[in-house]
């Protein structure tokens, strides 16, 4: 028996739930398959203390407030997962959990649509929406061999400080994950080395408004292309009620900052001489947001309080003025490395000719080169906000409307 459905959504994270809402509104019969539970990654692929990076008024879907949290609260990860579960129930999303899609291929020539091989049999669909997440496969550079005898884990496997062996910890990566994990380890009394690459670090708040508000009014969430072709991580945190990430203050609290991790030989980690430069780049990004905010306030005559302290950049600590370029791990007492080095996608199960040589989906705003196939939740799918909670909801609407239009064309002549 082959089950048939008009549209098949694969994955029930926030993207799959948003897609279901819009397909439902467009009266498109559909099914969402989720191999684990709704919003599984919020429950089990993140560290224990993680909270959403944006406040509750922003990091949500339009149709439902996050129950139990004020607008400015940063919602803990479990409650974020509960929220998406509640949202799916509210919209009666037809989600089937515990079913893995193992392969998708095109139907044979002469028939439209796709066939999905799942852990519970075959399903045919005219439209397939891949909502399996942008942050799927942890990327861990193979720099330090197992023979070095260090505990090594990716940030997605980090849970809390007690999980790590005694001793100092090296955290590699200066995006939101790396900096928050380093902060937590310092607070837990651990000796921390933090390898800082190029990063942006927008202010958490400025002149009484959160950075998500500033990115909104300054039209940066809707920016359609990254400001540069180089990938630059963003260091922002909702921890402890939300605070601006400041690497120098982390150093004041005991962390030792290092430049970019380059290589490892005979027990020694080699660092690039770029720490000061990376911090200056982060400062520039930080100050540019303040400048743009000031111009916006003046231009629009807003009465927001002044915030002169925001422009104070602390002096460089010793680890910046005298950077460590070679770190002997044993002498430094390092017993563990946490690689906060990002994620890649894995579409090996999609047996379709719709990928670039580097394995990235060929698409326009999520509409794949392969007719009938769609991607949702990709970074910069249509705008900066695309892989974030509020942004994916808008992209899902666009895709659902696209499917609706296609169905309209196909119905031509049949009325």
Ligand X SMILES: Cc1cc2nc3c(=O)[nH]c(=O)nc-3n(C[C@H](O)[C@H](O)[C@H](O)COP(=O)(O)OP(=O)(O)OC[C@H]3O[C@@H](n4cnc5c(N)ncnc54)[C@H](O)[C@@H]3O)c2cc1C
Instruction: Kindly list the residues in this chain that would bind ligand X in the complex (CB under 6 A).
Output: 10-16, 33-36, 40-42, 46, 52-54, 59, 100-101, 131-133, 135, 177, 349, 377, 387-389, 392
Cβ closest to ligand X, residue 21 vs residue 40? 40
Closest distance to ligand X from the beta carbon of 363 (Å)? 15
Cβ closest to ligand X, residue 100 vs residue 294? 100
Q: How many Å apart are CA 45 and CA 83, to the nearest integer?
A: 17
Closest distance to ligand X from the beta carbon of 32 (Å)? 9
Cβ closest to ligand X, residue 40 vs residue 274? 40
DSSP β-bridge partners for residue 355: 361
Q: Residue 20 corresponds to which tokens in the numbers above?
A: 């279901």
Cβ closest to ligand X, residue 59 vs residue 370? 59
Q: Residue 226 corresponds to which tokens in the numbers above?
A: 């990254």
Residue 194: closest CA among 170, 213, 177: 170
Q: What are phi and psi of 281, to 5 degrees?
A: -60, -45
Cβ closest to ligand X, residue 126 vs residue 386? 386
Cβ closest to ligand X, residue 86 vs residue 268? 86
Cβ closest to ligand X, residue 335 vs residue 341? 341
Closest distance to ligand X from the beta carbon of 185 (Å)? 16
**DSSP letter for each residue of 213-239:** HHHHHTT-TT-SS-SSSS--EE--B-G
Map residue 337 onto helix, strand or coil.
strand
Return all residues near 246 (Cβ < 8 A) that are at least 6 apart.
201, 314
Closest distance to ligand X from the beta carbon of 301 (Å)? 31
Closest distance to ligand X from the beta carbon of 53 (Å)? 3
Closest distance to ligand X from the beta carbon of 412 (Å)? 34
Closest distance to ligand X from the beta carbon of 366 (Å)? 11
Q: Residue 235 corresponds to which tokens in the numbers above?
A: 């260091």
Q: How many Å apart are CA 259 and CA 241, to the nearest integer?
A: 28
Q: How many Å apart are CA 225 and CA 371, to the nearest integer?
A: 24
DSSP β-bridge partners for residue 363: 368
Cβ closest to ligand X, residue 74 vs residue 264? 74
Q: Residue 44 corresponds to which tokens in the numbers above?
A: 């089990």
Closest distance to ligand X from the beta carbon of 80 (Å)? 7
Please, are residues 256 and 169 in contact by the beta-carbon 8 Å criterion?
no
Tally DSSP H helices, then E strands, for the chain: 10, 23
């Amino acid at each position: 028996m082959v089950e048939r459905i008009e549209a098949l959504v694969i994955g029930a994270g926030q993207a799959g739930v948003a897609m279901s809402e819009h397909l439902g509104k467009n009266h498109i019969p559909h099914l969402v398959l989720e191999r684990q539970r709704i919003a599984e990654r919020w429950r089990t692929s993140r560290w224990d203390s993680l909270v959403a990076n944006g406040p509750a008024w922003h990091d949500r879907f339009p149709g439902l407030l996050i129950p139990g949290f004020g607008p400015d609260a940063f919602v803990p990860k479990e409650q974020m997962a509960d929220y998406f579960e509640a949202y799916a129930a509210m919209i009666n999303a037809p989600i089937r959990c515990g079913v893995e899609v193992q392969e998708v291929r095109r139907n044979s020539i002469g028939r439209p649509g796709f066939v999905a091989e799942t852990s519970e049999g075959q399903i045919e669909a005219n439209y397939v929406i891949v909502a399996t997440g942008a942050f799927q496969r942890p990327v861990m550079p193979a720099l330090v061999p197992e023979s070095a005898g260090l505990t090594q884990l990716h940030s997605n496997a980090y849970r809390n400080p007690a999980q790590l062996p005694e001793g100092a910890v090296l955290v590699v990566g200066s995006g939101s994950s790396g900096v928050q994990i380093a902060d937590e380890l310092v607070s837990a009394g651990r000796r921390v080395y933090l390898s800082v690459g190029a990063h942006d670090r927008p202010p958490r708040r400025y002149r009484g408004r959160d950075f998500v508000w500033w990115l909104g009014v300054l039209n940066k969430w809707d920016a359609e292309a990254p400001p540069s072709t180089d990938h630059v991580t963003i260091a922002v945190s909702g921890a402890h009620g939300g605070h601006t990430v400041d690497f120098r203050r982390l150093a004041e609290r005991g962390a030792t900052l290092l430049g970019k991790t380059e290589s490892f030989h005979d027990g020694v980690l080699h660092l690039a001489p770029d720490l000061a430069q990376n911090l200056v780049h982060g400062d520039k990004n930080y100050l540019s947001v303040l400048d743009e905010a000031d111009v916006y306030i003046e231009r629009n005559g807003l009465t927001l309080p002044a915030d002169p302290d925001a422009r104070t950049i602390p002096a460089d600590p010793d680890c910046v003025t005298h950077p460590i370029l070679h770190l002997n791990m044993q002498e430094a007492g390092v017993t563990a490395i946490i690689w906060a080095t990002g994620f890649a996608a894995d579409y090996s199960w999609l047996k379709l000719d719709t990928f670039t040589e580097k394995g990235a989906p060929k698409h326009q705003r999520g509409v794949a080169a392969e007719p009938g196939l769609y991607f949702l939740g990709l970074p910069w799918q249509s705008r900066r906000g695309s892989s974030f909670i509020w942004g994916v909801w808008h992209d899902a609407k666009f895709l659902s409307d696209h499917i609706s239009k296609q169905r309209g064309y196909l119905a031509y002549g049949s009325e």
